[in-house]
Amino acid sequence: MFKKVSLLLILFILGNISMGTKPSQMSIPTSYTLEIPLDAKIIINGALGFAATYLCVLGGKRLYTKFYTPKPQPKAQIGIIEINDLSNAPHHLSLIEKVRFDQNIKGVILKVNSGGGPAGTSETIFRELKILQQHKPIIVYVENVCCSGAYLIACTGKIITPQMAEVGSIGVLCAIEKIKDPKTNKRENLTIDFIFAGADKVFKNPYSAEASPEQRKKVQDQVDLDYDFFCSAVAQERNLSLTTKEKWANAQTFVGPDALELGLIDKIGGFSDAKDYARDLVKEKLEDKNTQINFIEIK
């Protein structure tokens, strides 16, 4: 009973305080009038003190949160994509698409380490990166080698390599393998008959006869066409002149200093330099220059 009365008194007093009634103006209902022992007064005063302190702390916290809590610092991301094996084109293309549509990612670092790959695959990745290039800056870091089709891909960004890395090999190769003597390896009775439609359907088959001059010319024309595209793409992306392509497009590879002199790369440095370069390019495009920039691996 004593606990209930004490609680009712506390609630009554707090209710009057919240309505602006001074303690001296409070009138205790007659139904609750009783002689309060000294111990009870101590408990009531302690409870009131605790409640007042709690309300002050709560109010102060809310005021501090409203007026003094610092705003969260804006953040941006730079994605890192590794390209080592061009035969895994679907995976690379999916990562490029992911980066393109992620609004939090403001730039890309391509870590390229490849000697090349099929012409069609290289061109496909190149074209997708050209689309990405229109929206977000691309930095390419070459650790060891970036040649042939891999270099075509790298041309879509600013290229940084260590001094001893190799780049280039700008050229096109089409190899037609032929077996000189099919009746080898205990296959003396081997006979191959080709039944086909289309005069050039089987001349690339290793068991077919030697290619005719006309067939070789067709292959050479296709190789020349691919080579012209390769050289034109490199010249456009690297701001080079096609009139000097015999210096940089003869399928030769170049180490860092030579590649830099020819204009095939932008800077000699390490991966930290590539990250700094990417961070600077991204900051140029951000309205808030204090934006925090993080690097994330895209997998």
Question: What CATH number is given to the structural domain containing 97?
Answer: 3.90.226.10
Looking at the structure of the chain, the number of domains it has is: 2
In terms of phi and psi (left: phi > 0; alpha: psi -120 to 50; beta: otherwise), the region of 177 is beta
Are 113 and 221 contained in the same domain?
yes
Q: Per residue in 79-136, pLDDT tens? A: 999 999 898 899 999 999 999 999 999 999 999 999 999 999 999 999 999 999 999 9
Are 250 and 110 contained in the same domain?
yes
Write down the mean pLDDT value for the chain.
82
- The fraction of the chain above a pLDDT of 90, given in percent, is 56
129: containing domain: 75-297
pLDDT for 4: 45
Are 268 and 153 contained in the same domain?
yes
φ, ψ of residue 8 to 5 degrees: the values are -65, -40
Q: Which residue has the higher pLDDT, 42 or 106?
A: 106
Are 135 and 281 contained in the same domain?
yes
Does this model's pTM top 0.85? My answer is no
Q: Per residue in 140-193, pLDDT tens? A: 999 999 999 999 999 999 999 999 999 999 999 888 777 776 666 555 666 777
Q: Per residue in 58-73, pLDDT tens? A: 555 564 555 555 555 5
Residue tagged 């809310």 (tokens): 62
Are 106 and 250 contained in the same domain?
yes
- The fraction of the chain above a pLDDT of 70, given in percent, is 72
Are 55 and 186 contained in the same domain?
no
Q: Given 47, 67, 87, which residue is the final one in a domain? A: 67
